[in-house]
Amino acid sequence: MILPTIRYSLVASACLLGALPSLSPTPLQAQENYPDHRITLVVPFSPGGVADIAARVLSDRLQPLLGQAVIVENKPGADGDIGAGYVAAATPDGYTLLVGPTSTNAVNPILHTNLRFDARKDFVAIANLATVPNVLVLGPGKLKANSVTELIAELNRGDYTFASGGVGGSQHLAGELFKSMTHTKILHVPYKGGNAPMTDLLTGRVDMMFCNLPVCLPYIQRGDLKALGVTGKRRSPLLPNVPTIDEAGVPGYEVEGWFGLFAPTSTPPEIVTKLNKVTVDIMNAPKTKELLEQQGATPSQDNASQFGAYVQAEQQRWFKVIQDAQIKVE
C-alpha cells in the first residue's frame, strides 16, 4: 500500500434513502457521496502501451483510497478517437473517465476534422499522470554526427529521413518542430506503429528517429543507436550524459508526451478537485514515482486548473506546427 487507506462511509446516506425511497439524491448529495459505485478508466488504445500501464497503476491505487472498484476498459480504434468519443458522450458524473495522451486531447482535434466530438471543448482536465520525453537517435546508416550541431550541418548537405510510429504522434511532431526550428529538410517516413520503425532504423533504411525513451533505451545502451539529445526540458536520469536538444544547440526546443486524466465537460468541480488530489498523491508517492522514472516518465503535481491551462497551450502550439508543416491525415 503506497498511501493510507481512506474509506468514505455511506451509512447515513443509505439510512436516509431507505427512509425516503421516493426521493432521489440531489446533485449536491451525489457530489458529497462520490464515489458510491464503480469508476471506469477508459484507455483509447490496446493494452500494453504507456497509457494503459499508467491507467492500471492509477486504478490499483485508487480503489482503496476511494472505497470503490476502479476498472480499466480499453476502447482502441481511429487513433484513439473511439475511446475518447465514448467518454465525451458519457454522463458527466465522474464515473467514466479518459486516460488521454497528447494525441487524443491536443493533436487529433486539429488533424481530424470529421470527429463527432471536440476534445478542446468536451473534456475537463483533471490531472497529468506523467510526462515522457523522446530522444533523438541516429541509426547505423549515413548520418555520422556526434552532436546536434553537427547533425544540423550534416542535414543541410544531403537528403535524409526520420521515422515515426504514425502521422500526428509525438515522434512525428517532435521531428516537424525540429525541422522548423533548425530550418532543415528531413523526409518524414510514417509507419503504422509496431516494431517496423525500429527495425528499419537499425538496418539503415531510415536515418534518424525521435524515439520514445523507454523503447530506445536498450538499443542506446548496447551501442546500436546513437543518442544526440533528449526532447524534454531537463536531462533524463536514464541518460544523464545526453544533453537536452535545447542545451545541445536548439534553444527553446521542448517536446514531451503526456498522459492525462479527463472527464466529460460539466463534471462537477468538486469531483474534479477530489480526483485531482488523490491522483497527484498516487502518482507522486515514492514507489509509484520510482516505477515511472524507471520508464523515463515524470509525474506532475499540477492542480486541475494548471493542467487544463497546459493542455490548452499544447493544443495551440501543435496547431501552429501542424499548420506550418501542412500535416494531413491521409
Query: What is residue 33's three-state secondary structure?
Result: coil
Phi, psi torsion values for 124, nearest 5 degrees: -110, 135
Domain ranges of the chain: 37-131+257-325, 133-230
- What H or E segment, with its residue span, contains residue 258? strand 256-264
Domain 133-230 has CATH 3.30.60.50: no
**Quick one: CA torsion of 93, 96, 101, 103, rounded to 10 degrees?**
-90
C-alpha cell at 16: 436516509
Examine domains 37-131+257-325 and 133-230 and report if their fold is the same: yes
Per-residue pLDDT at 195: 83
Per-residue pLDDT at 12: 32
Task: Assign 31 a pLDDT band (cuts: 50, 70, 90).
Answer: low
Q: What is the pLDDT of residues 165-201, one digit of tens each?
A: 888 888 999 999 999 999 999 999 998 877 899 999 9
Q: Where does residue 96 fall: left (phi above 0), alpha (psi -120 to 50 degrees), or beta otherwise? A: beta
What mean pLDDT is predicted for residues 81-102? 96
Q: What is the pLDDT of residues 251-262, one digit of tens each?
A: 999 999 899 999
Q: Is the pLDDT of residue 18 over 60?
A: no
Name which of 8-22, 26-40, 256-270, 276-290 the model is least confident about. 8-22
Number of C-beta neighbours around residue 48 at 10 A: 9
Task: Assign 29 a pLDDT band (cuts: 50, 70, 90).
Answer: low
Q: Mean pLDDT score of the chain, rounded to an integer?
A: 88
Per-residue pLDDT at 27: 52
Task: Assign 5 a pLDDT band (cuts: 50, 70, 90).
Answer: very low
Strand partners, 12: none
Task: Assign 296 a pLDDT band (cuts: 50, 70, 90).
Answer: confident
Q: What is the pLDDT of residues 110-147, one digit of tens each?
A: 888 888 899 989 999 999 999 999 999 999 989 999 99
Higher pLDDT, 228 or 292: 228
Q: Is the pLDDT of residue 157 over 50?
A: yes
Q: Is the pLDDT of residue 21 over 50?
A: no
Task: Specify whether the CB–CB gap between 164 and 231 falls below 8 A.
Answer: no
Higher pLDDT, 226 or 50: 226
C-alpha cell at 40: 471506469
Q: Is the pLDDT of residue 13 over 90?
A: no
The DSSP call for residue 225 is S
Q: If you write DSSP's letter for every residue of 260-306 in order, what string do you get?
A: EEEEETT--HHHHHHHHHHHHHHHTSHHHHHHHHHTT-B-----HHH
The class that CATH gives domain 37-131+257-325 is alpha beta
Q: Is the pLDDT of residue 28 over 60?
A: no
How far, in Å, are 2, 99, 189 from residue 283 at the CA level? 10, 14, 35
- This prediction's pTM: 0.82
